[in-house]
């Protein structure tokens, strides 16, 4: 019998009955949610976890085959949900986790009452009629850099992701987080993330969805957030005051407030 709680380093806190589960993005782990989840522990049952290959997950459970696309990560999320006693979940996903949560809720819509997407992108590549934010050459260069010098890649990417130039400690801390990953696993997760195309799945989503976008995001630009909103029928788009791709790290209070206001509905 698979021990999902151990495999995915599942943590449960909070005093409420309604279950809210937080999924981290690429290069991260569940600790990025620490300041946000503190705001939910009185009213909710709070669940955090690490995708296999990330954080304190059981990395021996990682296989290139299973995690060669987002569906392997989707199965991680469904496994975590099925290992718990709850019938329904609110899912909060950051970045690629937004798409992972979408895939899970398309497969099992009865499992999720609401979705929250922070900085989502269904496709990162620029194509005719669609601006994902990256040219194909950008992605190839990024992936090559990870292979050649992983630490230099982390040093380059961290300030781009965080975007808060007046708070350099945010980029420094995020660089350390990126460097804590297994480079080979991170390289494959990056390729899966940045080459995926989930645009055709958006219209299949029936669960009420909040889309949270910052004023400036180098990874998932405003046009992408608008595209996601336009293609998910029951969705709301909120533009935050925060800057950068990781508002749950840089602006945890605003992030928690926006989510709470949506859930209060």
pLDDT for res 185? 96
pLDDT for res 102? 98
CA–CA distance, 42 with 39 (Å, rounded to integer):
7
Percentage of the chain beyond pLDDT 90 is: 98
pLDDT single digits (tens) 33-78: 999 999 999 999 999 999 999 999 999 999 999 999 999 999 999 9
The string of DSSP codes covering 189-246 is HHHHHHH-B-GGGGGG--S-EEEEE-S--SSS-HHHHHHHHHHSTTEEEEE-S--SS-
The string of DSSP codes covering the chain is ---HHHHTT-EEE-S-SEEEEEE--TT--GGGGHHHHTTTTTTEEEEE---TTSTTS-GGG--TTGGGSHHHHHHHHHHHHHTSS-S-EEEEEETHHHHHHHHHHHH-GGGEEEEEEES--SB-B-BTTB--SB-HHHHHHHHHHHHH-HHHHHHHHHHHHH--TT-HHHHHHHHHHHHTS-HHHHHHHHHHHHH-B-GGGGGG--S-EEEEE-S--SSS-HHHHHHHHHHSTTEEEEE-S--SS-HHHH-HHHHHHHHHHHHH-
In a domain, 244, yes or no: yes
Q: Which domain holds residue 259?
A: 4-122+198-264
List CB contacts of 111: < 8 A, sequence separation 6 or more.
78, 81, 87, 88, 89, 104, 105
pLDDT band at 263 (very low <50, low <70, confident <90, very high): very high
CA–CA distance, 150 with 159 (Å, rounded to integer):
15
User: How many domains does the structure of the chain reveal?
Assistant: 1
Is a pLDDT exceeding 80 seen at residue 24?
Answer: yes
pLDDT for res 72? 97
In a domain, 54, yes or no: yes
In a domain, 23, yes or no: yes
How much is the average pLDDT of 172-185? 95
Going by C-alpha positions, the residue among 75, 60, 58 that lies closest to residue 8 is 58
pLDDT band at 265 (very low <50, low <70, confident <90, very high): confident
Catalytic positions are: 95, 217, 245
In a domain, 140, yes or no: no
Going by C-alpha positions, the residue among 78, 120, 99, 119 that lies closest to residue 205 is 99
Is a pLDDT exceeding 70 seen at residue 1?
Answer: no
Is a pLDDT exceeding 70 seen at residue 164?
Answer: yes
In a domain, 91, yes or no: yes
Question: What's the pTM value of the predicted model, to 2 decimals?
Answer: 0.97
In a domain, 155, yes or no: no
pLDDT single digits (tens) 184-240: 999 999 999 999 999 999 999 999 999 999 999 999 999 999 999 999 999 999 999
pLDDT single digits (tens) 87-127: 999 999 999 999 999 999 999 999 999 999 999 999 999 99
The partner residues of 93 in beta bridges, in order of sequence, read 23, 117
| CATH (domain of 115) | 3.40.50.1820
pLDDT band at 30 (very low <50, low <70, confident <90, very high): very high
Instruction: Give me 85's structure tokens.
Output: 């006693």
CA–CA distance, 110 with 107 (Å, rounded to integer):
9
Query: How many other C-beta atoms lie within 10 A of the C-beta of residue 42?
Result: 10
What's the chain's average pLDDT?
96
């Amino acid at each position: 019998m698979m021990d999902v709680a151990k495999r995915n380093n599942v943590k449960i806190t909070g005093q409420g009955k309604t279950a809210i589960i937080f999924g981290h993005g690429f290069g991260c782990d569940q600790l990025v949610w620490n300041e946000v989840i503190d705001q939910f522990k009185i009213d909710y049952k709070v669940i955090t976890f690490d995708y296999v290959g990330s954080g304190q997950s059981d990395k021996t459970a990682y296989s290139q085959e299973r995690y060669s696309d987002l569906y392997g990560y989707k199965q991680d999320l469904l496994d975590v949900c099925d290992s718990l006693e709850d019938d329904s979940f609110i899912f909060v996903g950051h970045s690629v986790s937004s798409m992972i949560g979408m895939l899970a809720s398309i497969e099992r819509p009865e499992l999720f009452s609401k979705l929250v997407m922070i900085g989502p992108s269904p496709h990162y590549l620029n194509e005719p009629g669609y601006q994902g934010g990256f040219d194909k050459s950008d992605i190839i260069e990024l992936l090559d850099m990870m292979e050649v010098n992983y630490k230099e890649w982390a040093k380059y990417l961290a300030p781009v992701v965080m975007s808060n130039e007046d708070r350099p400690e945010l980029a420094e801390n995020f660089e350390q987080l990126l460097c804590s990953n297994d480079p080979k696993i991170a390289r494959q997760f990056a390729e899966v993330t940045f080459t995926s195309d989930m645009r055709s799945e958006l219209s299949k989503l029936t669960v009420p969805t909040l889309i949270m976008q910052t004023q400036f995001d180098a990874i998932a630009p405003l046009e992408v957030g608008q595209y996601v909103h336009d293609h998910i029928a029951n969705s709301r788009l909120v533009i935050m005051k925060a800057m950068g791709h990781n508002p749950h790290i840089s602006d945890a209070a605003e992030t928690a407030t926006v989510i709470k206001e949506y859930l209060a509905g």
